[in-house]
Amino acid sequence: MATSVTSQGLVAGADKCILAARPFLEFINLFSTNFKAQNAEQYSAVAVNVLAASSEDFGANAGYTHSTNTIKPATVTLNKHRKSTWSIGDKDAITNELAPCWAELGPKAGEAIGKYAVQQVMGLLTYSAATAQITQATHATLKDFTALWAGAVSKDLDPAQCVLLLTPTAYADLLAVLPVNVIGSDEAIRSGMVGRFLGFKAVVPSPNLSAASTASANNAYGAIVPEGAIAVADRIVEPVREGGNLIEFGTITDDPTGFALGTRVVVDADQGTCNWSVDCLFGCALSKQSSNGAPGFYQIISA
């Protein structure tokens, strides 16, 4: 991970923070993203490029000067701002000797922010927002799950560019019918993700799909979501210098995904407190906006 902070304590806390957030950021990174460690105002709009390849480009007459591939920008409003703040003493709390203290607080901040980000992204995948339904057999056997590949193809989707989301029950059923050597020992159980399986980009469980998104279809057990169906953007909130004394402000960047978080230390000498905060300013939206041609997602319903 990369960070612009310099205090040893903050570096220790920042590193642990991003490591705790990474499992959640890896999930978000399955979709279209625009992550930058740049300052931005809350509620500003960001254009996220959605890449969609057409199968026509692989035909014999595609040529070198004509293409049906397009870059389709989706507008995302940076309207979600989540902060995790810890108060641990006063000014001497940021000295190098207390680096282990910051390192203990980092994982809590990263986990809280990561969970919130995933909840917001997954909250977009409701039953009413689905483009259409794909009817498949009940999730009971490996053959049932394998048939989902054909279901995606029937909607002119490339499964390798789609994420297969399953309700927790369906995901557990999938793990139960998979040989251990197929899912990489018990890694899929620990990480909550089966990567590159069944022809899909990833297979992950989604609690949201068992709640509001299935209110109108009790027999729904998942969704097939093209990577371009969701757009996510994040930026950094520049600190407002009022109240307390800003000791340090910087960014934390997750190298694999590029997702950036802001971090700062504010000391209030009158109160005798030193507050360390980690925050993220981000937004997410369904990419299919104003008929821009971006792909939608499909709800899976048992036969």
pLDDT in tens, 35-49: 999 999 999 999 999
What pLDDT shows up at residue 81?
Answer: 92
The CA-based angle 237-243-245, given to 5 degrees, is 85
The overall average pLDDT reported for the chain is: 80
What pLDDT shows up at residue 181?
Answer: 59
Q: What percent of the chain has pLDDT over 90?
A: 22
What are the backbone dihedrals phi and psi of residue 36, each rounded to the nearest 5 degrees, phi first? -145, 140
What pLDDT shows up at residue 185?
Answer: 46
Query: What's the whole-model pTM score?
Result: 0.84
pLDDT in tens, 252-296: 899 889 999 998 888 777 777 777 888 899 999 999 887 777 889
Q: In the structure, what pLDDT confidence band is assigned to residue 235 with cuts at 50, 70 and 90?
A: very high
The CA-based angle 121-289-301, given to 5 degrees, is 60
Q: Is residue 60 part of a domain?
A: no
Q: Is residue 67 part of a domain?
A: no
Answer whether 146's CB lies under 8 Å from 198's CB. Answer: yes
Element (H, E) at 249: strand 245-253
Write out the two tokens for 146. 């394998």
**Residue range 162-173: average pLDDT?**
88
Q: In the structure, what pLDDT confidence band is assigned to residue 215 with cuts at 50, 70 and 90?
A: very low
Q: In the structure, what pLDDT confidence band is assigned to residue 78 with cuts at 50, 70 and 90?
A: very high
pLDDT higher than 80, residue 217: no
Q: How many helices (H) and strands (E) does the chain have?
A: 5, 15
Q: Is residue 64 part of a domain?
A: no
Element (H, E) at 176: helix 168-177
Q: Is residue 65 part of a domain?
A: no
Q: What percent of the chain has pLDDT over 70?
A: 78
What pLDDT shows up at residue 68?
Answer: 64
Question: What residues make up the domain containing 106?
Answer: 1-53+72-237+248-303
Look up tokens 């049906």; give the residue: 68
**Cα distance between residue 167 and residue 78, in whole Å:** 28
Q: Is residue 297 part of a domain?
A: yes
**Cα distance between residue 140 and residue 192, in whole Å:** 19
Q: Is residue 286 part of a domain?
A: yes
Q: Is residue 189 part of a domain?
A: yes
Quick one: CA dihedral 106, 112, 116, 118, positive or negative?
A: positive
- Domains of the chain: total: 1
Q: Does residue 92 or residue 175 have the better pLDDT?
A: 175
What pLDDT shows up at residue 196?
Answer: 67
What pLDDT shows up at residue 4?
Answer: 75
